[in-house]
Structure 1
């Protein structure tokens, strides 16, 4: 399920124009989760050097892909220990190139790119309360036509229907939260894949989406 509503841009732009930059593909999303972000000089460097998809990062085999909204279960190493999550990629919003150019410091850096945002639902299945800042959303990545996109540092989590991990405190067993993950992908990409797993996980959870936009 893909959405291209202008309400998404209205929610994203006020923060994005001031803070969003591209980072090296496959990098940690710590800044988007409330950790200290890069300096202005580092932001400019990241934006200049990582505006295209990571051609060396190919999508994992998707033979057992889940359907949009279907749940799978996996573990993620949080600060308070390993936690088991039930995870479901619900939908992907794909914007326009014009919108993407408004989301980065240098519009030229977004030439030929669009922003794809995955809405992912996470449910804590235990064994206990997740204390501190949850990092499970860092495990979500977006691939377009078989190539991993470029993660968008500082992308606003408080889009319609999404929560900010910074606001999630003492995540109790059984509680669910929907968290957004945004990547820059090539304009016109048709096959989108969202996959989730802890770093080095041999079998990440995979969801396939068709981009009809």
Structure 2
């Protein structure tokens, strides 16, 4: 099993990995979850897939197993910044505005994680290992980018897993029904992971 953090600076060195990641997102979010998202050529993408973002891919033998996108909270592209903040500002009609207890942060030390997934065909016996690889690389990549915390919108059951693998994860908003799933915004502190 391999874990790779992709950026616009290095995607050319990883062959079809980035396109494969977007195809896996298409299967996960459009085909299976039935979310109404932009797509082209069997790949899911949105306005947050810009050169400012990074993508973590867990893969094995050319197959994507899991992924996550990291976006700086300071980034802007037209009217958009990052998904959680834009939802709070009412720019996204599929995510409720009241997803955070406070105002969405804009700071160089805070990054957003989004489009977190583990492919449904990952065997149960392998799932925890894949999740741990994904989380470990997300933490490493975020720290390398200067993040002291990561803000994410995740399934409401995920904070238990995060604590189980040693992440300091705290609810940053109420549990909401988003796209038919119970979801919650969390703040993940990188401080306990910094040595």
TM-score (norm 1): 0.27
More strand by share: 1
More helix by share: 2
Q: Which of the pair has the greater relative contact order for Cα pairs under 8 Å at 6+ separation?
A: 1
- For normalisation by structure 2, the TM-score amounts to 0.29
